[in-house]
Amino acid sequence: MPPAAGFEIDASAMLRELAAELHDFVSHVQAPRSGDGAWREAARTRCRALADRARQMRATAAPRGQSLAGTLEDVSHGLRDFEKELGKGSPASSTGRMGQISKRVAYAYEALLAELRATGNAEIASAGPGVALGHLKPRNYARNLYHVANSLGGVLLYEFVLTRQTALWVVGAFLAFVVAMEVSRRFSRRWNRFLVEGVFGAVSRPRELTQINSASWFTLAMFIAVLLCDQRAAQLGVLTVGLGDPIASLIGKRFGTIHLWRGKSLQGSLAFALSAFLALNAFLALFSGDWDLGRRLAITTTVALAGALTELFSDRVDDNLSVTLIAAGVAQAWL
């Protein structure tokens, strides 16, 4: 094997290992114990080691492209800033700042993951054959509330204000806007970071720096549901994802000990099904009170279960798209 080829393989393996450790580190510090001195010191030591590795690898990565070198520089700078924050003498006042910096590191990790995936090097051998590096899913209560508010707002607007025709125009116009935003941010790294980390920083996930954001998929799903389904079916589909998904995320992260599929848990899936079932029944009781109880229970049970199963196995398709359309489709079949 030529030395250059061997060097390239070694560099790729080192990048994968760095990304894996970075994923573990960011997951570990997303809920910082800033008042625990031992925890802070251990986190500082690990942070310093990762920052040094990222800086050393930047020189190795420079010949492979400015994009990768820039990403490693972001990783190193973010970790250095996090280390400084950990070293401050006022733990209580620095907790919020630590959260902001750890999110910067999470964005840098996702950029590094995108670089590795683009070159087919996103599998980490030390974790087992075929085990791929995954996206970060930090706790984000603001995002959960935003998700619920969007779905409830859309359903109530469709109930009291918009006809099917006007709903298509309104959602279609918004869909055109989000598509334009998605396209525009592909042409400028600075514009992309401004939108994802700045404008929508409170509700964005780190992976959305390099992928289509969930709000865009949700808007597309709403447009298709309104276009193809009856009003009630579209509303049930939107409510299922809007209420079930945030609850599943909260319960799964807090209590998810029985894993079912790619990090998703039995507890999270059950929470999804139960919360969707209750929300759909409450909605139908308020706005379709003339429905027979048996019919209502049959519809809400099957829609909630279909949504939970779709969410569980939606790893290649964004669940905001898949869950909305499957749930609306099941409701449409009943109607």
What was the pLDDT predicted at 291?
A: 85
Mind giving me the DSSP string for 104-116?
A: HHHHHHHHHHHHH
Locate the domains of the chain by residue range.
Answer: 3-127, 141-334
Selection from 323, 330, 170 nearest residue 248 by Cα: 323
Selection from 127, 287, 272, 158 nearest residue 223 by Cα: 158
Model pLDDT for residues 206-247, shown as the tens digit of each residue: 778 788 988 999 999 999 999 999 999 999 999 999 999 999
| Distance of alpha carbon 57 from alpha carbon 21, whole angstroms | 14
Beta bridge partners of 132: 123
What was the pLDDT predicted at 5?
A: 43
Residue count of the chain, please give it. 335
What was the pLDDT predicted at 129?
A: 42
Q: Which two tokens stand for residue 139?
A: 């706790």
Beta bridge partners of 264: 261
Selection from 164, 100, 332, 137 nearest residue 252 by Cα: 137
What 59-65 contacts at long range (C-beta under 8 Å, 24+ apart), as own/partner pairs, is 60/11, 60/14, 61/11, 61/15, 64/11
CA dihedral (259, 263, 264, 267) in degrees, to 10, reads 40
SS3 content of the chain, % helix, strand, coil (to 5): 80, 0, 20
What was the pLDDT predicted at 133?
A: 66
What was the pLDDT predicted at 240?
A: 96
pLDDT tens digit at each of 335 positions of the chain:
444 444 344 567 777 888 888 888 877 776 666 666 777 788 888 888 888 888 888 776 655 556 777 788 888 888 888 888 777 755 554 556 666 777 777 787 887 787 777 766 555 444 444 445 677 777 778 888 988 999 999 999 999 999 999 999 999 999 999 999 999 998 888 888 888 878 887 888 877 878 898 899 999 999 999 999 999 999 999 999 999 999 988 888 788 788 887 778 889 899 999 999 999 999 999 998 888 899 999 999 999 999 999 998 887 788 999 999 999 999 999 98
Neighbours of 281 (CB within 10 A): 17
What was the pLDDT predicted at 143?
A: 85
Position 99, amino acid: G
What was the pLDDT predicted at 6?
A: 42
Q: Which two tokens stand for residue 85?
A: 């924050």
Candidate CATH numbers 1.20.120, 1.10.3470, 1.10.260, 2.40.10; the one for domain 3-127: 1.20.120
| Distance of alpha carbon 76 from alpha carbon 106, whole angstroms | 12
Mind giving me the DSSP string for 141-171?
A: HHHHHHHHHHHHHHHHHHHHT--HHHHHHHH
What was the pLDDT predicted at 257?
A: 81
- On the 0-12 / 13-18 / 19+ scale of CB atoms within 10 A, 302 is middle
Q: How many angstroms separate the Cα of 166 from the Cα of each of 116, 156, 172, 222, 226?
A: 44, 14, 10, 13, 10
| Distance of alpha carbon 320 from alpha carbon 278, whole angstroms | 19
What was the pLDDT predicted at 99?
A: 66
Q: What are phi and psi of 53, to 5 degrees?
A: -65, -40
Beta bridge partners of 265: 259
